[in-house]
Amino acid sequence: MSENRSGFILLGLSALLAFFYLMTGYGLPVEYPGTVALKASGILLLSVYAARRSAYLLAMALALSAIGDAMLALEPERMTLGIAAFGLAHLLYGWIFLRILRSTGVRSPWGVPLALVILVYGVLVLYWFQPGMGDLRVPATIYNGIILVMAALAVLSRARWLAVIGAVLFVASDSLIALDLFKDYDPAWRGPAVWISYVAAQFCLTLGLVRARP
């Protein structure tokens, strides 16, 4: 089987598994703990896709994301462990963007202004969410700092725009998660929007960074 064909198969299966997980919220009969495996497996296939293309840091970041997905799908969910896994994933994503930044320089003229917008947004959102954080105040604050730095490095670097979009989508997805966690705001559209934006972020990061091979 050719490399391109196997890659398309991995990407297609990943998207299909992500779709099936989305459908569990609309009556698809998958029982726990099958939901845990279903949630994590799609991103794990993206990790395999990246590893097959020798993008090993990217593969590690995706594998950590899959672990984070599993932790958050457990009953009861392991929130702190999930935050830790995703935090480590974002450190690796940030490292990849930093390497691109160091080798190609700052994206002009939009890199610095966009990075500042992301950082200011993150500080304001953190301030807004702080009163409801409770026991998650410390890990959530650390995680917030990590993902903001990752996204800022993404827009500063000359990484492919697909990867930059992925980083920004990740920030948006996590903001939607925080609405429920820290503001007890959970309209019907929020859950599907979280999953769709998250999966889109991971696909954009994968396809945008897989050729970087840092």
Using only C-alpha atoms, the chain has a radius of gyration, in whole angstroms, of 17
Residue written as tokens 């990740």? 170
Distance CA 52, CA 138 (A): 36
CA distances from 174 to 10, 11, 105, 114, 153 (A): 25, 23, 28, 19, 18
pLDDT in the model for residue 214: 44
Look at residues 178, 184, 199, 167 and name the one whose alpha carbon lies nearest to residue 21: 199
Distance CA 199, CA 32 (A): 21
Identity at 129, one-letter amino acid code:
F
Tokens, residue 62? 């995706």
Task: Give burial (CB, 10 Å; 0-12/13-18/19+) of 18.
Answer: buried
Mention every residue, 6+ apart, whose C-beta is less than 8 A from residue 49: 7, 10, 11, 14, 206, 210
Distance CA 19, CA 22 (A): 5
- What is the DSSP code (8-state) at residue 186? -
Contact 25, 39 (CB under 8 A): no
Identity at 150, one-letter amino acid code:
M
Q: What is the pLDDT along the chain (214 residues), one digit of tens a residue?
A: 566 889 999 999 999 999 999 999 999 999 999 999 999 999 999 999 999 999 999 999 999 999 999 999 999 899 999 999 999 999 999 999 999 999 999 998 899 999 999 999 999 999 999 999 999 999 999 999 999 999 999 999 999 999 999 999 999 999 999 999 999 999 999 999 999 999 999 999 999 999 755 4
pLDDT in the model for residue 79: 93
- Indicate the pTM of the whole model: 0.95
CB count in 10 Å sphere of residue 153: 24
Q: Provide the residue ranges of all domains of the chain, joining segments of one domain with +.
A: 3-209
pLDDT in the model for residue 4: 81
